[in-house]
A = this chain, B = another copy of it.
């Protein structure tokens, strides 16, 4: 299948692709669909390509990152590529020791907990982002009319890996630092905002048509902590991309109560996890925000007779929002049968 056979509409020049139109609040002919973590372990062609290559090395090898980004677009006919990377890539590019431990996640050489630790964080040399720019340019050249979404972690989630030293259940040390040492917290979150903002801006400048900020762990925060101690830095991270005039999406898990506050950092589209029905999410956002989501990843292993009505329900509730891009309510689980994802794309594209 060619990359765009399913979207004759987008071949017309000057009309933005369906994804971008939906992100802008329009209702294109078909509802666009893509999947968080569509590029990755659920695809045999990805697992084959990754053999013998470390995760962060793969992200920093332009040909590899580009090919991995393209794989799910080719296979599923989704309406967007999402740049294959990792939220700690800008941390690594700034020269901080971090690796991805398989089955565990990002692990730091040294946790960042004291004022001195924070002061020692090195600046990110803009030239260090060259492999990212190169990978994006390679990808965009091959995607044709299919848009590429740029990818970055939000400062809080990034900071939580730095402070905890790795993945954690409830970000206890991070949240303690947030209250106990507000000066170090401000300095750390500012550093995170600067590097992750530069990372996202580099992708957009190199040709990405949209950007998504992932604040995966924001759901561990009260609305007050999020609003007062986190949101300003997410807003700061988006500063360098705002001038680039591409639609921005914001997503976190377990963030139902945070949806309005996460929207207020200055994004166009809110991603919604599987817990909150889209009509409910739209109500919480005043009925004025395009939504992305929110098929329950747990149902990807259910029979089609169970999954189909669920996808239909997601589409129907999505009509409550001004515009809707179908996605999962979280990333594709690694053991997902990829043919199920392809079937969802076909179903969504044929749904009226």
Contact = CB atoms under 8 A, between A and B. Distances in A.
Interface of A: 170-176, 178-180, 219-224, 254, 256-257, 274-277, 296-303, 306, 310, 330, 333
Q: How many copies does the complex hold?
A: 2
Contact of A179 (B174, B175, B179, B306): B306
Main SS class of interface, A? helix
11 contacts: A170-B297, A170-B298, A170-B330, A172-B301, A172-B333, A174-B298, A175-B296, A175-B299, A180-B306, A224-B277, A256-B257
Contacts of A298: 170-176, 178-179
A301 B173 contact: yes
Contacts of A221: 275
A275 B254 CA distance: 11
A236 B178 CA distance: 42
Contacts of A220: 275
A297 B85 CA distance: 33
A36 B277 CA distance: 32
A150 B239 CA distance: 52
Nearest to A253: B170
Contacts of A174: 298
Contacts of A275: 220-223, 257
B219 A254 contact: yes
Given A175-B296, A175-B299, A254-B254, 20 more contacts: A172-B298, A172-B301, A175-B298, A176-B298, A176-B299, A178-B298, A179-B298, A179-B299, A179-B302, A179-B310, A180-B302, A180-B303, A180-B306, A219-B254, A221-B275, A222-B274, A222-B277, A223-B275, A256-B256, A256-B257
